[in-house]
Structure 1
Amino acid sequence: MDLETVSPEDFGASLRGVGLNLLVRDVPAQVDFLCDVFGMTAHRANADFAILRYGAQIVQIHADGTYHSHPLLGLLPETPPRGAGVEIRLFDTDPDAAATRATARGAVVLQAPTDKPHGLRETCILCDNGYAWVASLPKSDTPKGA
């Protein structure tokens, strides 16, 4: 499927499994963050909406205003952090490289890259919308020198 040209109806009908759709104040800024720090690929990105790919997974980003008649909009906090309590795990991202890129752009690295007892090396990075993005790799896959 060509994510640049697929109709909304065909795109929606193609979605399966668990989906991730985030409401944000600034779609282009969120897209830039996700592409830069985690290597996602953006499609159809504009001020209201974007489709992102992370490996074979699809992430959708919507601006608050696109939910004008959705009951969820009224539950969003007026002031950040809106994503408190949400942890989004990206299991195929080098945590050391992600933390370096996040730091370079001034993002909050909530937890520096750390080897965890559950077999992963991971870092936790907050985006401007308050969502916690956890980049991780199995410790055995972590690049040497990390």
Structure 2
Amino acid sequence: MTAAGEDMGAPVVPVMRYRDLPAAIDWLCTAFGFERHRVTTDRNGAILFAQLTFGNAMVMLGPVRQSAFDRFLKQPDQVGGAETQVCYFFVPDAHAHCSRARSAGAEIVFDVVDRVNGGRSYTCRDPEGHLWNFGTYNPWRPRSGAPAPPRRAHPKRAARGAAMALAGVLVGAAACLAGVRALPQAARSGLLLPQPPSGEPALEAELAREREARRAAERAAGEARRRLSEARAEAQASARGADAARAELAQAKSAAQAAVRDAAELRRHLAAARSEKEAAEQAAKAARSDLARAWARASAAERAAAQVRRSLARERNARAGLGAEASRPPPWE
């Protein structure tokens, strides 16, 4: 880094999103030792974004929104706790820093362990699921005299690399051999090859050695071609396996989406059935109420009719009694 870069801090600044931004700022400062560099608020005091520093490193924090840019981002709890990137910070004492984070409530995913680079590190999650990595390995510190750690190549890549290297060596050897054979005998004897003794046996021996060298080169080239063909076949098989896995994953996603749609459709049907049942129950209740009122009206009508019949009977009886009195002869007759 240049002097200006050191004064201004690291030029790479990670950006993290949080649903509860004020709580995240307080927690990161308490658990990890971040310091508030800048906190920007609106007129109502709501935090728009914040800049926290950790030594000469910085992270920017923002809220989870529904902007066009936010549509390309997911929170860990939306993708099963996965992360596509992780922030690493150098600390002098990994054990002490891990204890501090644990005391603040951090979920320790990987406890402090020794690494092949000579440092110690641990990994944890914050309350909203983001992964953080802290360790004693300082990538900016030069390691004078320390050899680079060996890299173990993938078997298939190693086979392909060895085949290609062997093919290159054989092609070079064949070109050299062709060049040697194209030279005159004097040039080959005086410049490139030790001068053989004169005579026919020496010439035949030289020709025999050339033929044997050519056969050996052809055998080596054939072996290289065979190995290269095997490496290509393995790579094609791996590609086919990856394609099959992607196809199965796509089918599984389609099945899951169909299951979600079916479940939503069933829920809609169930809600409609419940609504219909409630409507039927209300209609039955109303019908029972109407029937009860009808029975009450019918009973009242029957009682009124009985009262009328009794009144008519009394009136008839009274009229009949008056007629009998009228037909009776007077006492003087």
Deviates more, 1:26-35 or 1:42-51: 42-51
Bigger-Rg structure (1/2):
2
The one-letter amino acid paired with 2:12 is: V
Deviation at 1:85, TM superposition (A): 3.1
Q: Contact 1:114/1:123 (CA < 8 Å) preserved in 2?
A: yes
Deviates more, 1:28-37 or 1:104-113: 28-37
Deviation digits for residues 77-110 of structure 1 (CA, Å, limit 9, x no counterpart)? 5934566232110013532122112221222011
Q: Given the superposition, is the C-alpha separation of residues 17 and 44 from structure 1 closer, same or farther in structure 2, using an over 3 Å criterion?
A: closer
In the superposition, the TM-score normalised over structure 2's length comes to 0.33
Look up the match of 1:69. 67
**What is the total number of aligned residue pairs between the two structures?**
124
Deviation at 1:70, TM superposition (A): 3.0
SS at match of 2:77: coil
Deviation at 1:15, TM superposition (A): 8.7
The one-letter amino acid paired with 1:28 is: P
The correspondence of residues 83-94 of structure 1 with structure 2, limited to 5 A, is 84-92=83-91, 94=93
Distance 2:84 2:70 in 1: 16
Look up the match of 2:109. 110
Look up the match of 1:52. 52
Deviation digits for residues 11-50 of structure 1 (CA, Å, limit 9, x no counterpart)? xxx8973221111111122222221222111133363311
Distance 1:16 1:136 in 2: 18
Look up the match of 1:34. 28
Distance 1:103 1:16 in 2: 27
Q: Given the superposition, is the C-alpha separation of residues 53 and 77 from structure 1 closer, same or farther in structure 2, using an over 3 Å criterion?
A: closer
Runs of 4 or more consecutive aligned structure 1 residues displaced over 4 Å after TM superposition:
80-83
The one-letter amino acid paired with 1:32 is: D
Q: Given the superposition, is the C-alpha separation of residues 84 and 16 from structure 1 closer, same or farther in structure 2, using an over 3 Å criterion?
A: closer
Deviation digits for residues 100-128 of structure 1 (CA, Å, limit 9, x no counterpart)? 12221222011111111121100111112
The one-letter amino acid paired with 1:63 is: P
Provide the alpha-carbon RMSD of the alignment. 2.7
Alignment counterpart, residue 23 of structure 1, candidates 10, 17, 41:
17
The one-letter amino acid paired with 1:61 is: L
Q: Contact 2:9/2:56 (CA < 8 Å) preserved in 1?
A: no
Look up the match of 2:77. 79
In the superposition, the TM-score normalised over structure 1's length comes to 0.70
The one-letter amino acid paired with 1:73 is: R
Q: Which runs of 5+ in 1 are unaligned?
A: 1-13, 140-146
Deviates more, 1:71-80 or 1:85-94: 71-80
Q: Contact 2:76/2:130 (CA < 8 Å) preserved in 1?
A: no
The one-letter amino acid paired with 1:64 is: V
Look up the match of 2:208. none
Query: Is the helix fraction higher in 1 or 2?
Result: 2
Identity %, equivalent residues: 25
Distance 2:108 2:102 in 1: 7
The one-letter amino acid paired with 1:40 is: F
Query: Is the strand fraction higher in 1 or 2?
Result: 1
Look up the match of 2:202. none
Q: Which runs of 5+ in 2 are unaligned?
A: 1-7, 42-46, 139-333
Look up the match of 1:124. 123
- Give the number of the structure with larger relative contact order, counting CA–CA contacts within 8 Å between residues 6 or more apart: 1
